[in-house]
């Protein structure tokens, strides 16, 4: 008998963590960021208009969707800001991109970085995570600046619909340290966010959970071979734990600082979205050493470094192949 998937949902879709893990096993630990910067549109000989935006987006999706029915990447991450700057026509292009990615069975992470008081948060949750929304994605990035618990409407809807969230914990930009490395439970805001995500994933996955007095986390379940999957992506013999619906954003450029701040990233049992790979200077080797035992849960994301290889689909696919090689795939 097949055991039910922990945290299974009633939306006819497997939980996000299981879907993402399967995609990472199949394609490797890479997400293609779709960031239609004006400069990139220009470099691709496209106008900085909704027409150019659409051409850019569909070309990037074609590269990501791969050939022969198997995706070239585990997910795509459209940068919402760069659609929003085109107003309603830009949002229409984003809707088409999300819809066509779903048809191509490419997972989508809307990089919207939303966060607000709970009652307003419910609106953002509906926009990005409900089955009926034209902007529905498989996951969305969230900002916890109004307090982790204010994000509850999004976390609840994500879990109920087999979707996920990625909450900013340690961001890739140098300015992030002034907020994230100080204060909070266990000495840093990033530590508070990490502990809260571990708590929520343990509950969603059906594991017991204990929180130490200094805000560090531990799980009173043991990691068994049937609970996660072996990561065949340069993670050596490391086992990827089952992934819950709450992922964290941990910049590839700052992953090494997690240990110094006392963050138990492996104990989060959620995917770790790692921007900063490529254009911001992080390499596969640097990420593997920075993330340490959490490496099997890392989804590296690269936008400009791959997109600069366009406008041809073959050029983009070559960029994807090189990025995966750097990640040990």
Ligand X SMILES: O=C(O)c1cc(=O)[nH]c(=O)n1[C@@H]1O[C@H](COP(=O)(O)O)[C@@H](O)[C@H]1O
Beta strand 229-230 with 239-240 is antiparallel
168 backbone dihedrals φ, ψ, rounded to 5°? -60, 125
Beta strand 246-250 with 272-275 is parallel
Q: Does residue 150 bind ligand X (CB under 6 A)?
A: no
DSSP classification of residue 4? P
Q: Which of 164, 184, 251, 319 binds ligand X (CB under 6 A)?
A: 251
Q: Which of 90, 275, 284, 310 binds ligand X (CB under 6 A)?
A: 275
Q: How many CB atoms lie within 10 A of CB 177?
A: 16
Q: Does residue 302 bind ligand X (CB under 6 A)?
A: yes
Indicate if 77 belongs to the active site: no
Whole-angstrom distance, CA of residue 267 vs CA of residue 217: 7
Q: Does residue 279 bind ligand X (CB under 6 A)?
A: yes
Q: Which of 278, 290, 310, 328 binds ligand X (CB under 6 A)?
A: 278
- Beta carbon of residue 109, minimum distance to ligand X (angstroms, whole number): 8
Nearer Cβ to ligand X (226/260): 260
- Rounded-to-5 percentages of helix, strand, coil across the chain: 45, 15, 40
DSSP classification of residue 99? H
Active-site residue, selected from the candidate residues 77, 113, 163, 199: 113
Binding residues for ligand X restricted to 20-79, rule: CB under 6 A: 33, 35, 79
Whole-angstrom distance, CA of residue 259 vs CA of residue 292: 9
- Beta carbon of residue 177, minimum distance to ligand X (angstroms, whole number): 11
Q: What positions carry a catalytic annotation? A: 113
Could you list the residues that contact ligand X (CB under 6 A)? Answer: 33, 35, 79, 111, 141, 171-173, 249, 251, 275-276, 278-280, 301-305
């Amino acid at each position: 008998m097949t055991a039910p998937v922990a945290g299974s949902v009633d939306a006819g879709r497997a939980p996000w963590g299981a879907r993402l893990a399967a995609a990472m096993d199949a394609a490797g630990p890479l997400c293609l960021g779709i960031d239609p910067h004006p400069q990139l549109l220009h470099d691709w000989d496209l106008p900085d208009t909704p027409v150019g935006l659409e051409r850019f987006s569909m070309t990037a999706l074609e590269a990501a969707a791969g050939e022969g029915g198997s995706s070239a990447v585990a997910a795509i991450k459209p940068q919402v800001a760069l659609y929003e700057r085109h107003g309603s026509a830009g949002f229409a292009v984003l809707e088409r991109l999300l819809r066509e990615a779903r048809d191509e069975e490419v997972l989508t992470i809307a990089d919207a970085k939303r966060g607000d008081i709970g009652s307003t948060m419910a609106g953002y949750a509906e926009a990005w995570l409900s089955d009926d929304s034209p902007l529905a994605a498989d996951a969305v990035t969230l900002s916890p600046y109004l307090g982790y618990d204010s994000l509850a409407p999004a976390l609840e809807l994500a879990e109920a619909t087999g979707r996920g969230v990625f909450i900013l914990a340690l961001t890739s930009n140098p300015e992030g340290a002034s907020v994230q490395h100080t204060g909070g439970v266990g000495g840093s805001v990033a530590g508070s966010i990490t502990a809260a995500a571990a708590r929520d994933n343990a509950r969603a996955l059906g594991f017991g959970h204990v929180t130490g007095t200094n805000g560090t986390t531990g799980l009173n379940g043991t990691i068994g071979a049937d609970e996660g999957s072996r990561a065949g992506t340069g993670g050596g013999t490391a086992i990827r734990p089952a992934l819950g619906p709450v992922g964290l954003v941990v910049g590839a450029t700052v992953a090494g600082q997690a240990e110094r701040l006392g963050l138990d990233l492996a104990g989060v049992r959620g995917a770790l979205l790692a921007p900063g790979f490529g254009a911001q200077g992080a390499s596969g080797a640097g990420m593997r050493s920075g993330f340490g035992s959490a490496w099997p849960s890392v989804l590296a994301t690269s936008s400009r470094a791959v997109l600069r290889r366009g406008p041809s689909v073959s050029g983009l696919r070559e960029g994807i192949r090189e990025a995966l090689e750097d990640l040990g795939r």
